[in-house]
Each structure stands twice: as structure tokens, then as C-alpha cells.
Chains A and B, each alone.
Chain A
Amino acid sequence: RKEVEQDPGPFNVPEGATVAFNCTYSNSASQSFFWYRQDCRKEPKLLMSVYSSGNEDGRFTAQLNRASQYISLLIRDSKLSDSATYLCVVNLSGNTPLVFGKGTRLSVIA
């Protein structure tokens, strides 16, 4: 079983749609969780951290369910500029490496 598994994608959605990405992780001792965004041929960039209480940043909402070892990202009112690959990232502790999922590609279509 892979350490971090994501929806395979790709997701092709019209502008204005709501889209949800799911991610599961295998190590129950993991402490930190993130969503990164990666544009084509660019480096990954931190989109948001994910907390047990859930967190929201504008059109983006992230949720963590520790019991199910499940992380989600919801994007509301999709924009063309949201087209990218979204990487689910898990960290056991601050000093250990980041563990990335394979990524889910999103294409928002006009």
C-alpha cells in the first residue's frame, strides 16, 4: 500500500463548478498534512495546511479525518487559473521528509 494515495484524475470541470479531491495516508502516526499545487513544469507550492478542525482559505476548504486517515480538498467556484496538479502531502514529524501523493490533475474549462 502506498503511503499517500490520491484520486487518479484527471478532473475536467467547467468554470464555476465545485470539485473535491480525496487523499488517504497509511501511517497513522503522521502529524502534519498539506495540499500543494503544482503548475505544469514548475515546482510544487504550498496551497494550504490541513488541520483536524478543518480550514478554509477563500474558495478552498481542507478537511482532515484522523480516524479514517483521510484528507480532502474542496474548491468552490472553480476558475481557469485553478488548473494545475494538486498534491496531497503528509509528514510524520517536522524533521522527517515530506511524503507526496501522485497528484491529481485538474483542468477547468471555459
Chain B
Amino acid sequence: ETGVTQSPTHLIKTRGQQVTLRCSSQSGHNTVSWYQQALGQGPQFIFQYYREEENGRGNFPPRFSGLQFPNYSSELNVNALELDDSALYLCASSKQKLNTEAFFGQGTRLTVV
């Protein structure tokens, strides 16, 4: 086990709704990155948080937003859900933004109907 936990593991939402996904980083890690993995695709970088500040963002619209808390856990919020948002959402935690030594959580599988 990596020590990175995500919740919930699965959820189903309706188009237009909002969703919040949560990630607890591994002890000692201050960086959390979020990735979206659509079916049959590799994970795509959404954004990264380092010491509670956004530190880089991929090609995702503003309705994808996030937070990092003082304990370095993180949330991913998606507003106005679309069918194409259905995917596995992965968070990865690391120390000092060092993504080459990141550990992934088990993911949250979001289905938008």
C-alpha cells in the first residue's frame, strides 16, 4: 500500500451536477497531483498543489478546481459535470514537487449519466 487514500472509490452523478473528490497524501508528502484517466487512455495531468498553492495545471477547463489543506490532503472539484468527465480520477502524492517519486492512490471512478 502506498499510504495515499482517495474517497469515494466509486460514485455516479448526473450531468450538470457538481462533485468533490478527496485525497489524503502519504505522510511526509507536501505535493498532490491529480490526473484524469478516461477508459482506454493513459492518465492526463489536471493540476498539482504544493504547500496549499496550485503549482501547475494541465489542459482542463476552469470548472475543474482544487484545494490543498494545511495537512496536505487535497480535493478536486468538478462543476457542471459532462458525460465526458466519466473517468478514473487519480491523485499522486510526493515530496517537494518531485513527481518522479510520486505514489498513486487507488483512484475514484466517476460515472456521469
Contacts and interface: CB of A to CB of B under 8 A. Distances in A.
A97 B100 contact: no
B42 A43 contact: no
Interface stretch (B14-22, B63-71, B78-86, B103-111): B103-111
B97 A95 contact: yes
A43 B107 contact: yes
Contacts of A34: 100
B44 A100 contact: yes
Interface string A52-92: 00000000000000000000000000000000000100010
Contacts, number: 56
B41 A102 contact: yes
30 contacts: A4-B42, A32-B100, A41-B109, A42-B106, A43-B105, A44-B43, A44-B90, A44-B104, A45-B104, A87-B42, A87-B43, A91-B99, A91-B100, A94-B99, A94-B100, A95-B97, A95-B99, A96-B56, A97-B48, A97-B56, A98-B33, A98-B92, A98-B99, A98-B102, A100-B35, A100-B42, A100-B43, A101-B42, A102-B42, A103-B42
Interface of A: 4, 32, 34, 41-45, 87, 91, 94-103
Interface of B: 2, 33, 35, 40-45, 48, 56, 58, 88, 90, 92, 97-102, 104-107, 109
